[in-house]
Amino acid sequence: MDLLNKIKEAGVIGAGGAGFPAHIKLNCKVEYFIINGLECEPLLQSDKYLMRNKSDEIVSTAEKIGNAIEAEHIVIGLKEEYYDEVLALKESIKKLNSKVELHLSKTFYPAGDEQILVYEITGRTIPPGGIPLNVGAVVSNVGTVFNIFEAIQDKPVIYKFVTVIGEIAKPSIIKVPIGTSVEECIEKCGGTNVEDYVVIMGGPMMGKLISKEMAVDRVITKTDGAILVLPADHYLAQKEKMTVQHMKNQAKSACIQCHYCTDMCPRFLIGHPLHPHKIMRGIALSEDNDEVFKEALICCECGICELYACPMGLSPKRINVYLKGKLRQKGVKWNNTADIFQGHVLRDYRKIPTGRLISRLALNKYMSQKFEEGQEINPQKISIPLRQGIGAPADPIVKVGDKIEKGQMIAQIEEGKMGSNIHASINGEVVEINQNIVIRAIQVEVIP
């Protein structure tokens, strides 16, 4: 079986972003194969854990993939402050006599954004609405590369390394079978330090906020990497509660058109025609200004404009999210263009130091948390979504009552459709099939 088929069979999708199927993404020939180890969001640790502990696997697989796609440059991007990880990767490169290179970045946000990383390494701006392939690059997360290492050994994607951080008794990086509930992950880490809390799935800037009640049913999928627990009255939790109408009223009454939001916007700074201050002016005046609002489609939702730049505490990012929904309904698209875009001359001076961002977000107390590593969860029940990441749901190939083994394929993506195969992450019995396949663990009898 060739590499792409092994990746498809094992159900590998992008581990750090939207979950694009890896066998489709890597079906190309490019100049740059870039491996993203920058852990874009503050506080997250899972990619560092992998680079520290699985450096041989990551380097050897990066080279294998890079050769398959005929990349001239195979580059792992990570932060220069990741001393242990840089050391581990350098040793692996030397030991394996590999042509893989390291690109060491300063600690700024959002250094791990795919478009920013491509710009930093290649000096090329991906056109608005485009993809790295438009400038001769393809980017995979280190977690994806590790999953491809496993796929080559015929091991499917059935677990994730998840950072559990924040108001947690024992902050940890835990190995979690796909389909385990978020609540169970929190319990495994000793529970929370506060009674009333919210959970952010992912990092503080771009993660999705859920209530503690939702954490019971929310399960870990192939794209999850972090669980951040915050007090329910934390600034980030309160900001999420604001209605769209309230945001629009604020834009009308309080936007002083200082354009700091634009000046600090990382997409504007790599040359994209994205001007959040104009969008804010537009929404204050009318709902009907698609020529200006169209710019919202190229917003990556990094949150810098509202959580760092705006002196008035307004919400350009969430206005953009709102507009994107409306524009998509109308079928408005950003047409990829062959134009060449140039980064802003002041870009280097406008990078946001991650430490300052963390202070602004009132997250300093979680910076120095010590992590327990490597614990594994053994859930009694899992619920595995049939659709994980971009594409169609996979079709179940098991039925209620079937006994299944860990690693067995339980749902398959139809030939020709975009999506990923799904595998069981524990031994057990199928007890329910809806949009998820629910499996109850089978107790193994211990014979005295």
* 397-406 b/e (C-beta count within 10 Å ≥ 16 → b): ebeeebebeb
Residue 276 is a binding residue for ligand SF4 (CB under 6 A): yes
- Give me the least distance between CB of 366 and ligand SF4, in Å please: 23
Residue 259 is a binding residue for ligand SF4 (CB under 6 A): yes
Q: Which residue, 134, 111, 133, 110, is CA-closest to 121?
A: 111
Comparison of 104 and 256: residue with beta carbon closer to ligand SF4: 256
Measure the CA–CA gap between 282 and 444, rounded to whole angstroms.
63
Q: Which of 314, 382, 424, 439 binds ligand SF4 (CB under 6 A)?
A: 314
Residue 299 is a binding residue for ligand SF4 (CB under 6 A): yes
Q: At which residue do the structure tokens 């040359």 appear?
A: 271
Q: Which of 152, 280, 384, 426 binds ligand SF4 (CB under 6 A)?
A: 280
Residues numbered 219 to 258 that lie near ligand SF4 (CB under 6 A) are: 255-258
Q: In the structure encoding, which two tokens stand for residue 9, read together?
A: 């069979």
Residue 132 is a binding residue for ligand SF4 (CB under 6 A): no
Q: Which of 302, 323, 404, 424 binds ligand SF4 (CB under 6 A)?
A: 302
Residue 269 is a binding residue for ligand SF4 (CB under 6 A): no
410 touches 424 (CB < 8 A): yes
Radius of gyration of the chain from its Cα atoms, rounded to whole angstroms: 22
Residue 312 is a binding residue for ligand SF4 (CB under 6 A): yes
Using CB atoms within 10 Å of the CB of residue 1, give its burial: 0 to 12 exposed, 13 to 18 middle, 19+ buried. Answer: exposed
Measure the CA–CA gap between 365 and 342, rounded to whole angstroms.
39
Comparison of 66 and 110: residue with beta carbon closer to ligand SF4: 110
Q: Which of 23, 25, 79, 277 binds ligand SF4 (CB under 6 A)?
A: 277
Q: In the structure encoding, which two tokens stand for residue 313, read together?
A: 């505490």
Stretch that binds ligand SF4, among 65-73, 86-94, 234-242, 297-305 (CB under 6 A): 297-305
Measure the CA–CA gap between 392 and 413, rounded to whole angstroms.
8
| 3-class DSSP state of 244 | helix
Residue 193 is a binding residue for ligand SF4 (CB under 6 A): no
Comparison of 110 and 428: residue with beta carbon closer to ligand SF4: 110
Residue 17 is a binding residue for ligand SF4 (CB under 6 A): no
107 touches 79 (CB < 8 A): yes
Residue 265 is a binding residue for ligand SF4 (CB under 6 A): yes
Comparison of 202 and 276: residue with beta carbon closer to ligand SF4: 276
Residue 343 is a binding residue for ligand SF4 (CB under 6 A): no
Q: In the structure encoding, which two tokens stand for residue 25, read together?
A: 């993404």
Give 365's Cβ-side CA count (13 Å radius): 9
Stretch that binds ligand SF4, among 12-20, 301-309, 357-365, 413-421 (CB under 6 A): 301-309
352-353/32-36 β-pairing:
unpaired
First to last CA, the chain: 44
Residue 124 is a binding residue for ligand SF4 (CB under 6 A): no
- Count residues binding ligand SF4 (CB under 6 A): 28
Residue 261 is a binding residue for ligand SF4 (CB under 6 A): yes
Q: Which of 33, 146, 260, 366 binds ligand SF4 (CB under 6 A)?
A: 260
Q: CA of 254: how far to CAs of 128, 249, 250, 258, in Å?
A: 29, 8, 5, 11
Residue 361 is a binding residue for ligand SF4 (CB under 6 A): no
Stretch that binds ligand SF4, among 57-65, 294-302, 336-344, 388-396 (CB under 6 A): 294-302
- Give me the least distance between CB of 270 and ligand SF4, in Å please: 10
Establish whether the linkage from the previous residue to 353 is cis, with ω within 30° of 0.
no
Q: Which residue, 385, 384, 389, is CA-closest to 23?
A: 389
Residue 309 is a binding residue for ligand SF4 (CB under 6 A): yes
Binding site for ligand SF4 (CB under 6 A): 255-261, 265-267, 274, 276-277, 280, 299-305, 309-310, 312, 314, 316-317, 320
